[in-house]
Structure 1
């Protein structure tokens, strides 16, 4: 009896869905949500227009899927949870997170950052889905890590301030993708950049931790903090 052929890793339907998602990401990144039609996405993906409704439930739902995929390609929740679960000092975990972010942004050229930048610059009604499904769960993991480094309890405003100061350079890197590098300067070296961002972040977190501890003790904050 002849052996049955092994099933392909992805069916035709899964391949069509993947092409639609990729094509939509490219077009939304290049032209924006308002200027990208379902017809254009389907043509770019070499698919029927009806396939957008079949796989995603419409152009709006496809855009939401693109936003979520873009955020996951910058940093996935699984990757964050793996780092957080490691039996390592918290500063080392932060360095690993920065290594991952820098490597993704500097070494890859993809539509993800451009789609997110467009959405952040002019938030649509779809941002709430991205915030709920991706941003807030990941934020909780990072805040817990920063709390471990600084000793500032979860829920205190000072902890979120620490997150902002730590994340701001990374956000700038994601948004500009090296576009601000002066002419003639060598390309960004991921390991050196991650090392600098880690030193910069740890210095700020150390200062914030000391300031917070002094404030709780009713003492004068350290000079310069």
Structure 2
């Protein structure tokens, strides 16, 4: 009796690779459409036509349109700053100040690198007009990152991550990044013409401003 040989590993992997490519194509296409039209105005039919995938493929990889939009928002968050990057920074042996610099650097460089892509546009739309999937994405992406940030700021100021002063400081330090995310082009074009947001200079400015503010808050709290 002749026993047929098992297919080589490469052949066995091919369907999974093809499936991953299809998933990524759907995700990219959906990201572009959601960025251009918004979640409510983007249809599953448009996504299928533009990605050259059928509705069964969308449902297989993402369950439905809501599941696809959640995946797009997760991907957009990852393209700005991955949770794995934040965890790695938080667990490093660097000083709290160096950790803060690293996070600000990742955010500022991410804002510039993603300026022409769909990730920033999708996140901006979601911030200005939240959808029903936002709470789940915040719990998965934003809350863990915010906890890491609060811990680092608390270490700098010798305060608890849950101290009200630490929470207010987190807003003061990272609100500019959120503002640049939403209003970079109108800001530079209409409000502050001539403003140049060169990444190295902006990173140094934000670090100097943040550390000075954190030191002032620490002194006011008696922990300097």
TM-score normalised by the chain length of structure 1: 0.88
Match of 2:110 among 95, 101, 104: 104
| Structure 2: distance between partners of 1:138 and 1:27 | 27
Given candidates 122, 125, 132, the residue that maps to 2:129 is 122
Instruction: Report the Cα offset of residue 177 of structure 1.
Output: 3.9
In 1, Cα distance between equivalents of 2:202 and 2:26 = 35
Per-residue deviation at 1:187? 4.6
Deviation at 1:4, TM superposition (A): 4.3
The structure whose residues are more often helix, as a share, is 2
Normalising by structure 2, we get a TM-score of 0.88
2:212 matches 1:212:
no
Query: Aligned-pair RMSD on alpha carbons?
Result: 2.2
- Alpha-carbon deviation of 1:179? 4.0
How far did 1:182 drift?
A: 4.0
Query: In the TM superposition, what is the alpha-carbon distance from 1:110 to its structure 2 partner?
Result: 1.5
Question: Could you tell me whether the CA contact under 8 Å between 1:102 and 1:194 is conserved in 2?
Answer: yes
Structure 2 Cα separation of the partners of residues 44 and 175 of structure 1: 27
2:95 paired with 1:89: yes
Equivalent position to 2:59, from 53, 60, 81? 53
**Do 1:178 and 1:188's aligned partners in 2 also have CA atoms closer than 8 Å?**
no
TM-fit CA distance, 1:70: 0.8
Aligned-partner Cα distance in 2 for 1:98–1:10: 37
* Gapped regions of structure 2 (runs ≥ 5): none
Give the length in aligned residue pairs. Answer: 214
Q: Which deviates the most, 184-193 or 30-39?
A: 184-193
